[in-house]
Amino acid sequence: MSPDPHPDSPDTPPRRFRSPFAIRPRTLVIVGILAIVSGAFGLRDHMKFLVSAEQADAEVVSVETFDPTEGFTLYRPTIRYLSANGGTTAVVADTYRPTVAGEILSVAYDPADPADARLMDPRDRWILPLWMVVFGVITIVVGIRRARRADPADPE
């Protein structure tokens, strides 16, 4: 048996420096899978709602505005609309779209529960679940690329 080469000898491969803040490839893949699953559930929930929903035009009665603390402003309008059974319903909805009192917006609502109304602005319904799916795919790709580049002798 030959003695182990000295750590500084040219025969010893250089050790990669691993930052204490580095995320392991396996963790990236798991986070990506969770993001895709949550995005898929959000998309499924919205599509399931739209299948049974009725659409109506709603008047904005009042708007509560939340100042941007994270780089965006959230608007919470109280909307009033006439449901298919003839009843007037007033509900509060959240939106990122600037909204003013008196404006007419398109809403979808559950006929069995007219208080379950959602604004039909794509920014409010589709963006978050789609971003979750895109984030998940990118995270999985990064995790797989890191795993392929990792030193096979280096244990995770």
Mean pLDDT per 10-residue interval, the chain, length 156 residues = 56 61 85 95 90 89 78 82 78 80 88 84 81 95 88 54
CB-based burial of residue 112 (10 Å sphere; 0-12 exposed, 13-18 middle, 19+ buried)?
exposed
For residue 134, tell me if it sits in a domain.
yes
Return the pLDDT at 92.
77
Alpha helix positions (H), the chain: 25-52, 122-125, 127-149
Supply the angle between the helices 25-52 and 127-149 in degrees, to the nearest 10: 160
For residue 6, tell me if it sits in a domain.
no
Backbone angles phi, psi at 100, to 5 degrees: -130, 155
For residue 3, tell me if it sits in a domain.
no
H helix or E strand, kind and range, residue 16: none
Torsion of CA 42, 66, 58, 121, to 10 degrees: -40
For residue 154, tell me if it sits in a domain.
no
How many domains does the chain contain in total? 1
pTM (2 d.p.):
0.65
Return the pLDDT at 123.
74
For residue 12, tell me if it sits in a domain.
no
Q: Please give the Cα distance from 28 to 52 (Å, whole number).
A: 37
For residue 19, tell me if it sits in a domain.
no
Q: Domain of 119?
A: 25-148
For residue 128, tell me if it sits in a domain.
yes
Return the pLDDT at 151.
57
What's 56's domain CATH number? 2.40.50
For residue 155, tell me if it sits in a domain.
no
